[in-house]
Chain A
Amino acid sequence: MRPKQTLRDVELLVLLALIRLAPRAYGVPVTREIEAAGGRRLALGSVYAALERLEKKGLVKSELGEATQERGGRAKRYFHITAEGLRAVRSTRQALIGMWQGVPVLEGGKA
């Protein structure tokens, strides 16, 4: 059995953004998605650093897209989550749910 991948919080947010934006996820929309849905403002450099780590772990793949005028003739780099990436997200979700359950102070919105 392969060991489960552990994800940092930024990596989890980036992977979730990739799933939500598929198949056209690149730096700018990923950052916007995390800010809009996750409430976290991340710099593009941090997002790319997380994407690079995830790519090294084999959890995402990337490919170069088209160069556009609005980007000064530079190509976009599209990122896709891999099957292993999906497994890591599910595994992290299970771990979080497991930790959440049975803690009275976290249930029912009471603090």
Chain B
Amino acid sequence: MRPLALAFAGFLLNRFGIPQENECLMGDLVEEYGSGRSVLWLWHQTANAIASRVATDIRDHKALAIRAVATGWALQGGWSELLILLHPLTLHSLQQPPQYERMVTFLKLWLLLSLCAVTLWPVFVGWVVGKTHRAQQAAMVLAYASSWIVFSVVSFSLDYAEIERGPVPISFYVGASGAVAISTLIGGFLQKPRPRQSLQTRS
């Protein structure tokens, strides 16, 4: 369990941080963990290191963070626009006979697009955001995903009364928003971050 926990902590640090800087931090974690620290301590240290790295990257690269959020929203908005464009076409199709077959086709298309909207497309959006900001990948992907979560919470709060009265259960909205956020994170971390050079380190 102990070597496994260390290996997983190392994986997370390399995925979310700067690999060459994490070598020293990882060495410190191994040293302390080997001297009897708990697994809880290890996770606390790992989470703190990742949070510190993300906060530092966003603070030091505000323009990049804005670009990452804008990139994500442009792609996400583009997808929404496509759905809106398709909507009149499908409605028009429904009004043509034979209506039952059209309805079945419409439902199939709607289900497929909905599935793509909450899974595949956000994976692509996250991938693009991560790909275009590889040096600060974790921070930029998290910045965009966080903006999505904030947007979802705000829009959900504003429309809560209407959603409650509507035919779709609340759990659907919560699940769909969560799926989008998770898919975005998965897409964002599909590729390894680009290595960065530390400033004044001498070997």
Contact = CB atoms under 8 A, between A and B. Distances in A.
* Chains A and B bind each other: yes
Interface of A: 26-28, 43-46, 48-49, 52-53, 55-56, 61-64, 67, 70-72, 74-77
Interface of B: 6, 21, 23-32, 34, 44-46, 48-53, 55-56, 198-203
A107 B152 CA distance: 52
Contacts, number: 86
Contacts of A27: 24-25, 28
A55 B203 contact: no
Contact of B25 (A48, A62, A72): A48
A44 B31 contact: no
22 contacts: A27-B25, A27-B28, A28-B28, A43-B44, A44-B28, A45-B51, A46-B48, A46-B52, A48-B21, A48-B25, A48-B52, A49-B52, A49-B53, A62-B198, A64-B201, A71-B27, A71-B28, A74-B23, A74-B30, A75-B24, A76-B27, A77-B24
Nearest to B33: A72
Contacts of B198: 52, 55, 62
A34 B56 CA distance: 21
B interface, by DSSP: helix, strand, loop or mixed? Answer: helix
A43 B29 CA distance: 11
Contact of B30 (A52, A56, A63, A72): A72
B2 to A, nearest CB: 12
B30 A45 contact: no
A19 B26 CA distance: 24
B9 to A, nearest CB: 11
Given A70-B34, A72-B30, A44 B25 contact: yes
Contacts of B199: 52, 55-56
Contacts of A45: 25, 45-46, 48-53
A102 B148 CA distance: 51
A74 B49 CA distance: 18
B108 to A, nearest CB: 49
Contacts of B21: 48, 52
Contacts of A74: 23-24, 26-27, 30
B38 to A, nearest CB: 14
A27 B26 CA distance: 10
Nearest to B3: A72
